[in-house]
Structure formats: structure tokens, C-alpha cells
Amino acid sequence: MDGLLLIDKPTGITSFDIIRRLRPVVGVRKIGHAGTLDPAASGLMLILIGSATKRAESLTKLDKEYLATIKLGQTSTTGDSEGEVAAVSDRRPSRKELELALQTFVGRIQQTPSPYSAIKIGGQEAYKRMRRGEEVKMPTRTVTIHELELLEYKYPLLKLRAKVSSGTYIRSLAADLGERLGTGAYLSGLVRTQVGDYLIKGALKLDGITEDEIVAHLKA
């Protein structure tokens, strides 16, 4: 067992849960991934087996593409549907207003990730420190939004396709969009569809995955 495995992560589990489930199937301890997904998110994960773990750093830096569902009119303490939600405004922006607002985020922008993210602050994941009641100050970072396409809009929900640089947080993008519109917003659903040139349509489902499937996938 050695190589790059594409897995379609389901919601409700952590990125490390994927590793934990695959280890007894592949029979290899040396296994990792190139980029986490939050438990509430689903989609493409690059799983690295054996010597492929040496590629983790370069693969993590690849651009990503997501399909995001954003809910307007409210904010969330975590930036997604798992947090405490508070009403902000019942104003209904037009589709044109949404499209114009989205385009202001395209390009190199400054972004502050949610403190409920897996970014390590002082050697530990920020969300773990927040859950202990600690105060966490998140550093602002420069990211690049390559493309934002509004796919659907039926208030209060909008769906968009986002092609972004590594390190971009879609939760933060949703919150910033809500602030720009004056309505509030949070991320209610997220699917990662692409990492670099790797597509979700080539990924294996985790449930019921077998050793034979993995071997065939690695050889393909």
C-alpha cells in the first residue's frame, strides 16, 4: 500500500476519523492527509499512504474549489450551523446586489479565520481552546479568491462555487459577506469538490470501502 488515495468525506466526522477508519483496511500505520475538512463539511480529501506522506506539504498548498451554501439574515458564533445563531436583519438583498458584493472579495484579500477552526494557536487547535472557555486571538492572513460564482439564490439561502487559494476559510468568507451586506450570514453547508487537478468525481466513498477497492484506486 503506497500512494495517493482520493476519499469523499461524509459530514459528521473529523478528518482524522478518516485516517482512523482507513488504517485497519490498508494495514499501514504511515498514513496522513493533505488538508483538513471540518466535521460539518464533506467532500474531497487527499489521503497519503506510505511514501506519499512526503508530498503532504506540497499537496496542502494546492488551490481548492468548494460548493458553499450560505444563510443570510443571521450570524453564528462558530460561523457555521453548529454555533449559536442570532438574528441580524430580515432585509432581502437582490441577486444583483449579491453578485456585486461577492466580486469585492475576488483577488488577494485579508481574512481572519474563525477561532472555532483547526488552526493551531500556541500549539493547540483554536477550537479546543475556545471550547475550554479560553480567549483566542486569530491572526489575519492574506488569501486569494480566484473565482466566486453565484449558482442559486432563494432568500435566505444562496449557493456559490468558490475557487480559492490554500488557507482560505469559507466560513470567514460567509461571515464577511454578511457584514458587507449588512444582513449577517453564516455557512450552512460546504462540499470540497476539487484540490489542484484532483476531482471529487474520482473519489471513493468511505462507507464499506475495501482493500481491493483501494488497491485498484492506487493503481489507476
Q: Report CA dihedral (61, 113, 78, 155) to the nearest 10 degrees.
A: -90
212 as an active site residue: the answer is no
Place of cell 481548492: 64
Q: Which helix (H) or strand (E) holds 22?
A: helix 15-26
- The Cβ of residue 92 has, within 10 Å, a number of other Cβ atoms equal to 12
CA distances to 147, 156, 179, 182 from 95, in Å: 17, 11, 16, 15
Select which of 8, 38, 80, 176 is catalytic: 38
Contact 13, 34 (CB under 8 A): no
Residues 6+ apart with CB under 8 A from 179: 185
CA distances to 74, 78, 125 from 188, in Å: 11, 11, 22
Rounded distance, CA 197 to CA 115, Å? 30
Residues annotated as catalytic (active site), given as ranges: 38
